[in-house]
Structure 1
Amino acid sequence: MPLIITALGVALLLLLIMKLKINTFLSLAIVSFLLAVALGIPLTEIVAAIETGMGGTLGSVGLIFGFGAILGKLIADGGGAQRISVTLIDIFGEKKIQWAVVLTAFILGIALFFEVGLVLLIPIVYQIAKQVNVSFLYLGLPMATALSVTHAFLPPHPGPTVIAGEYGADIGMVLVYGFIISIPTVIIAGPLFTKYARKLVPEAFEKINTSAMASIGDAEQMLIEETPGFFKSALTALFPVLLMGIATITNLLQETTGVSGNAAFDFMAFIGQPTTTMFISLLVALYTMGISQKRTMSQLMKSAETSVKAISMILLILGISGSLKEVLIVGGVGDYVAQIFEGSSLSPLFLAWLIAALMRVAQGSATVAALTTAGLVIPLMGGSDVNLALMVLATGAGSVIASHVNDTGFWIVKESFGLTVKETFYTWTALETIISVCGLVFVLLLSVFV
């Protein structure tokens, strides 16, 4: 019954948004309350669940998106995004610019959280698309693919790192095997799939993008000599990467040496938090893209206000999508899926992928899907000689499948690229499914040799 109720809730949500044209935020709120009642959550606990879900989601991504939007707008209005885009076009050429975007997103994605990478790169990719006169989605979809793949498979991202700890896997081998499966997965789900998606939903690639996130990257074109230098522009855009990268290395050193209670390590851990990183990077951008470019404080604050206004509705949608996810978790949808596989005799690698996939589809959270799967699969691994690093990657692959309306990432992508719900299903949901299936296939192939 929980799965049937969830399916009916998803169908109702699609009806409200696609057929009745009700605002996405209101539609998500309506379905969240109705699902809470249908799943048997006590009436006295429904509001608490919805508030917890919204608060948890906005607590993790609200400040990141807010600081990131201002940072992106400062880089765009200061001419940095234009300088970076022109330089990349000069280096790679217009015909290979999509691969340049993929490579850039993949490298940055190793250190950046998915949400951070997206909000940081969108203004730059928008400028590149404008310069070469191609669809924003044509470049944006492969960019999102690279960020999603690194987030799912490569430490130090939370998912693979935490799962490795649960399984007792060697984090170094997870990283090595993760790179091996990530590269072909990015190529297949990124540039190759984008060509197919362009034929499947051409209207999504032909529209003039008017999304709030795209508008952050829209800025008045300058003479190239008036823009800041490439080094200054790139350093400003890459500053979050540098901070998080240094913090990650410091954390690994701390774990290796076993030092605890050290003020220097504590300070770097504080610096490496995504919210802190984006805030410090924003302060740096105020100087590099503002004061040093002879822009007045009034101009800088106008850029900041414009960017925050642009993402206000996005933040509400992300928050209420977290409420829907919380309702499904509290309502026991994940627990019901877990009961189905108790005592299963399937291959541990395939079982880990399958349970994580069903958990993901049922309740939306990739992290919850992965951690729940680990708890279920560990008892079934007794006496098995399965490679633990591959178990981590199989679980990660399953946890990203079929992103849909109960996943915050679905709404992030929809709003960022100005897509309809249908177009998001045909592009993002399909793309995430390809990443998941490719991950499983490459894990199974690797298991033959390692």
Structure 2
Amino acid sequence: MTLLAVLVAVGTLVLLIAVVKLHPFVAFLIAAIAAALLLGRPVGSITTSLNHGIGDMLGSLTAILCLGAMFGRIVADSGAARRIADTLIRVAGLKRITIALAAAGFLVGIPLFYNVGFVLMVPLIMSVQQRSRLPAVYLGIPMLAGLSIAHGFLPPHPSPTALVGLFGASMGRTLMFGLMVGIPTLLIAGPLFARTLKGVVARPVADLPEDGPPDRDAPGILASFGVALLPIALLAGATVVTSFDDLRPSVLLAAAVAGDANIVMLVALLIATAVLGVAQGRRASDLSAGSVEAVKDIAGILLVIAGAGALKQVFVDGGADAALAGWLAGLHVPPLVLGWTIALVIRLALGSATVAGLTTAGMVQPLVASQNVDPSLMVLAIGAGSLMCSHVNDSGFWMFKEYFGLSLADTFRSWSVMETLVGVFGLLFTLMLSLFV
């Protein structure tokens, strides 16, 4: 009965989002209530579970994601993201243009949320296409693969950040593993795969969004790269320092505090405000307005995360976590492969990588503890599965199709295959990494 309740809850979630078209937050709440009733929970305890789950999930993530959104907004609005991309393209030259675009997408994707990065980078892709006379899809796929990998694998993006909290993983360790897995995955799904797409004909939309301030108003190269990569440097530095057990306790404590994700994002935001905002002559009112818009952009994602927390807590309070752990362990499938597979199935059904990742995490969380799985690697495996097989129920699929003016067949051939390569090789490199950690 316990497993049936879980399956009914997940099936209800899929039905409400994919067919009824309810907002995922509402769908999560309905699925959580249905699961609680099927698990035999007292009616009076259901709201307690929902409130507990929502509070626990948002309590550790709200500040990180909101600060991250504000940080990314400043990087985008200041022109720093454009400066990074332009610099990499200029240094690489025409021969290595796809590698430069992949690197630009990956680096810009670290501070920017996916949709913001997509809209910001598409005009740059078209600008490069006009100057180089190379096919637009051949140029676009490497850069967008970089954005996608950052979105699925790297904190402080919403899904990996939420999964880090759910599994009790280290943010810095997950980030370093994400870079180790993401970079080779990017080379395959980006520049290498793009070589097969030179024959795809794009008809880009006439009115593309503005791509930031003029180059003369953008910050310098050092400031742009330094600020954009600052969260990585802080998290990685703290992780390295805390790995040395023979240091004085006061040093270890200071490194642990400095490496806390909330502190890292707060410091990064303050420095970005000073270097990319005030030092560039931007008014405080403009910076404040940008922060307000950034928080609005993240509100929908926070609701999805809150709903996933409610469903997860109902599973825990109803004893479904232990039953799931026993059932999943009995399948005799490696836990990382299992997490990837479940995320793939939910991704196929729902389209949303974030919903797929969070739903999967709630199901496999007990398995991580019971089978001694490295939680950072499980974050990456689920992230890879949640990016698989993007098709017509994914907003990213339609954004790519419409911006590049492609037919459905060419969108499947380019975008969907790229996302599938990201998912497959992301898992393969994660499994290879698991042999050494």
Q: Secondary structure at the match of 2:371?
A: helix
Q: CA deviation at 1:142?
A: 3.8
Verify: 1:249 aligned to 2:240, yes or no: yes
Query: Does the C-alpha gap of structure 1 residues 21 and 183 become closer, same or farther in structure 2, counting only changes over 3 Å?
Result: closer
* CA distance in structure 2 between the aligned counterparts of 1:305 and 1:162, rounded to whole angstroms: 30
Mapped contact 2:74–2:273 kept (Cα < 8 A):
yes
TM-score, length-scaled by structure 1: 0.66
* CA distance in structure 1 between the aligned counterparts of 2:84 and 2:297, rounded to whole angstroms: 23
**Structure-2 residue corresponding to 1:271:** 258
Q: CA deviation at 1:12?
A: 2.5
Tell which deviates more after alignment, 120-129 or 326-335: 120-129
Query: Does the C-alpha gap of structure 1 residues 162 and 241 become closer, same or farther in structure 2, counting only changes over 3 Å?
Result: same
Query: Does the C-alpha gap of structure 1 residues 162 and 131 become closer, same or farther in structure 2, counting only changes over 3 Å?
Result: same
Over residues 383-435 of structure 1, what are the superposed CA-to-partner deviations in whole Å (9 max), with x where a residue is unaligned?
xxxxxxxx89986776556439xxxxx9xx97889879xx9x96899567525
Over residues 186-205 of structure 1, what are the superposed CA-to-partner deviations in whole Å (9 max), with x where a residue is unaligned?
545666679999x9xx99x9
Q: Secondary structure at the match of 1:290?
A: helix
Tell which deviates more after alignment, 368-377 or 313-322: 368-377
* CA distance in structure 2 between the aligned counterparts of 1:331 and 1:162, rounded to whole angstroms: 21
Over residues 326-379 of structure 1, what are the superposed CA-to-partner deviations in whole Å (9 max), with x where a residue is unaligned?
3334333342233247789x6xxx64445656787898354983663453369x
Mapped contact 1:163–1:370 kept (Cα < 8 A):
no
Query: Does the C-alpha gap of structure 1 residues 206 and 368 become closer, same or farther in structure 2, counting only changes over 3 Å?
Result: farther
Unaligned runs of 5+ in 2: 127-135, 156-162, 347-357, 401-410
Length, aligned pairs only: 385
What is the percent sequence identity of the aligned residues? 24
**Structure-1 residue corresponding to 2:292:** 305
* CA distance in structure 2 between the aligned counterparts of 1:393 and 1:60, rounded to whole angstroms: 17
* CA distance in structure 1 between the aligned counterparts of 2:143 and 2:338, rounded to whole angstroms: 33
**Match for residue 248 of structure 2 among 259, 268, 276:** 259
Query: Does the C-alpha gap of structure 1 residues 209 and 38 become closer, same or farther in structure 2, counting only changes over 3 Å?
Result: farther
Q: Secondary structure at the match of 1:20?
A: coil
* CA distance in structure 2 between the aligned counterparts of 1:318 and 1:209, rounded to whole angstroms: 34
**Structure-1 residue corresponding to 2:386:** 403
Q: CA deviation at 1:66?
A: 0.9
Mapped contact 1:353–1:396 kept (Cα < 8 A):
no
* CA distance in structure 2 between the aligned counterparts of 1:284 and 1:234, rounded to whole angstroms: 13
**Match for residue 235 of structure 1 among 205, 223, 226:** 226
**Match for residue 128 of structure 1 among 117, 121, 126:** 121
Q: Secondary structure at the match of 2:243?
A: helix
* CA distance in structure 2 between the aligned counterparts of 1:16 and 1:208, rounded to whole angstroms: 36
The 5 A counterparts of 1:116-195 are: 117=110, 119=112, 123=116, 126-133=119-126, 139-145=143-149, 148=152, 179=180, 184-188=184-188
**Match for residue 335 of structure 1 among 322, 327, 330:** 322
Mapped contact 2:341–2:385 kept (Cα < 8 A):
no
Unaligned runs of 5+ in 1: 109-115, 152-156, 165-170, 211-217, 379-390, 405-409
Query: Does the C-alpha gap of structure 1 residues 343 and 280 become closer, same or farther in structure 2, counting only changes over 3 Å?
Result: closer
Amino acid at match of 2:9: G
Mapped contact 1:84–1:124 kept (Cα < 8 A):
no
Q: Secondary structure at the match of 1:22?
A: coil
Q: CA deviation at 1:250?
A: 1.9
- Cα RMSD of the aligned pairs, angstroms, is 5.0
